[in-house]
Structure 1
Amino acid sequence: MTGLIRRIAIAALACAAMSAPAIAEDNWSEWAPENELGWVEGSADAPVTVIEYFSPTCSHCKEFAEEVLPVIEEAYISTGKVRFVMREWVRNSVDMTILTQARCLPDEDGLAYLKDIFARQDEIFVAAQIGTLPGTLISASTPYGVADREAFDACYKNMDTRFDMIEVEKSAEHYDIHASPTFIVDGVSHAATLTMMTPEGFSAFLDEELAKATPPTN
C-alpha cells in the first residue's frame, strides 16, 4: 500500500463507524454541566448547548475545527448564546493515544492541544505510519507540560483517564454515533452535512436552534 493510500485509509477509518451497534439497553443520561467529561467552551447558562462528537484523525473534524469553529466561537460562544462541548469518538489506536494525552492536561490546555493536533494532522498520519507517533505527540504536548517519554507514558497508562474515556464512549452509544463530526442539540443527533461544514451553514443551524430555545416575547 502506498503512503498516500495509507493516509486516506487512516482518515476514512477515523470518520466512519467501526464499532459494534449501540447496546439495546440504555440506562445512560446526560451529565450536568459540572460533571461534563468533554472539553467545554461557553457559559453553562447559554440557551443552547451543542455537543460535537469528534475524532482527532478525522479530516472533516479538522475542517470544522479550523474553518467553522473560530467563527462560532466569536459570534455565538463568546456572546453567551451557545455552550459548545467536544467529546471524543475513538475509532483507531491513533485517536486513543492522542486523547490519553489531551485528557492528562487541564481542560483549557487539553482543548488547545487538540486544536494543535488538528493543525498537525498530516504530520501525525505520517508519524503513525513510520512508528514515530510518540515523539510527534510529545512535541505537540511539550508546551503544555508533557515534555518527555516518561510523562507521555504516564498519561497513556493513567487509569482515571481511561475510565473517563469509557464513560464518554457510553454517551456516544446512547446517541448512536456512527460518524464524526456529529452534533447533539437537546438530545437530537445531527450528522454533519455539507452545509453545516461552512460557517454560514452552521450559523444558520444555530440560529434555528436558538429560535426554538428562546420563544419570541410579546
Structure 2
Amino acid sequence: MPLSRRILMLAPAALLPWSANRPAAAQGGDPRLTERSAGKRDAPVTVIEYFSLTCSHCAAFHRDTWPRVKKELVDAGKMRMVWRDFPLDQLALAAAQVARTLPPAAYEGFIGALLSTQDRWAFNRGADPVAEIARVAALAGLSRPQVDAAIGDEALRKALLESRLKGEQEHKVSSTPTFVFGSKTVPGALSFDRFAELVGEAAGA
C-alpha cells in the first residue's frame, strides 16, 4: 500500500461537516479514541504531549528524555503523561491509525518502537513503510490484514485529523513535539532538567 509523505494541510471547514455528523462510536464509544496515557490519574500534574511518529525531534525526546521522565516523574507519582496525535504527514497519520488500533496497554511500547526505528520505515527510501510498520505491529499482536484495515479506516483517519485540529485551536500547536504543562505550552524536544522544572512550576501553580 503506497503512502505519500505529503505534509498534511488542514482546513477547519473541511472537518466541520464530518464532525457534526460523525457516528456515535466516533464521538465517545470508539475505544480507539480514548485517552492514551502513562501514570496515575490522580497525579498532581498532567502533561500533554502532541507528537508525530515521523518527527525526528519527537524521536529524540523519547530516546533521550522520556525514559528518565517516566522513571523519576511518572512512576514516582509526580505527573501523568497524556499522548495526543499530531501527524505531520500522511505516513505519520497511517502509523497513528495503527497505534490507535492496539489495546491501550500496548500503545506506549508500540509508539516507542516506531520512534526508535524511524530510519527503517519513515526515512528509508528503499523500504515499504507499511510493511515495516506491520512488522512492529505484529510484535504487539496485530496481523497484516488488521494493519491494512486500520490504515484504510476513514472514520479513524478523520478522528485523528480532528484531534490534530483541536490541538491547533486549543493549545496553539504548530510543531512537534509540543508539551502542555497546565496552562503553559512549550514546543521542542526538552531536556530532562527543563522538563522537570516545568513540571515543578505546574505543580506549584
Seen in structure 2, the aligned counterparts of structure 1 residues 97 and 123 have a Cα distance that, compared at 3 Å, is same
Query: Which is further off, 160-169 or 170-179?
Result: 160-169
Summarize the Cα distance change of 1:64–1:185 in structure 2 as closer, same or farther, 3 Å threshold: same
Structure 2 length as normaliser, TM-score? 0.79
**Matched residue, 1:132:** 128
Q: Structure 1's 90 and 118: CA in aligned 2 closer, same or farther, altered over 3 A?
A: same
Matched, 1:54 2:51: yes
Residue 21 and residue 179 in structure 1: after superposition, are their counterparts in 2 closer, same or farther (change >3 A)?
farther
How many residue pairs get aligned? The number is 184
Moved over 6 A (4+): none
Contact 1:42 1:82 in 2 (8 A): yes
Residues 120, 127 of structure 2: 8 Å contact kept:
no
1:177 aligns with 2:167: no
For 1:134 and 1:109, locate their aligned partners in 2 and report how far apart those are by CA, in whole Å: 19
Unaligned runs of 5+ in 2: 14-30
1:154 aligned onto 2:144: no
Deviations 1:69-108 (A, max 9, x none): 1111111111211011111111111101111110110112
- Structure possessing the higher radius of gyration over alpha carbons: 1
Structure 1 position 66 matched with structure 2 position 63 = yes
- 1:20 deviates by 5.1
- How far has the Cα of 1:184 moved from its partner? 1.1
Cα separation, 2, equivalents of 1:19 and 1:119: 26
Amino acid at match of 2:183: G
Q: TM-score of the superposition, structure 1-length normalised? A: 0.75
Query: Is 1:191 aligned to residue 187 of structure 2?
Result: yes
Secondary structure class of the residue paired with 1:90: coil
Aligned equivalents of 1:67, 1:21: Cα separation in 2: 34
- CA RMSD between the two structures: 2.6
Counting aligned pairs with the same residue, the percent is 23
Q: For residue 28 of structure 1, what is the aligned residue in structure 2?
A: none
Q: Which runs of 5+ in 1 are unaligned?
A: 1-9, 24-34, 213-218
Once the two structures are superposed, the pairs formed by residues 108-119 of structure 1 within 5 Å of their partners are 108-119=105-116
Secondary structure of residue in 1 paired with 2:64: helix
Q: Distance in 1 between matches of 2:60 and 2:118?
A: 11
Deviations 1:32-79 (A, max 9, x none): xxx974420011111111001011111110111111111111111112
Note the C-alpha offset of 1:22: 7.1
Contact 1:104 1:161 in 2 (8 A): no
Cα distance in 2 for residues equivalent to 1:159 and 1:19 = 17
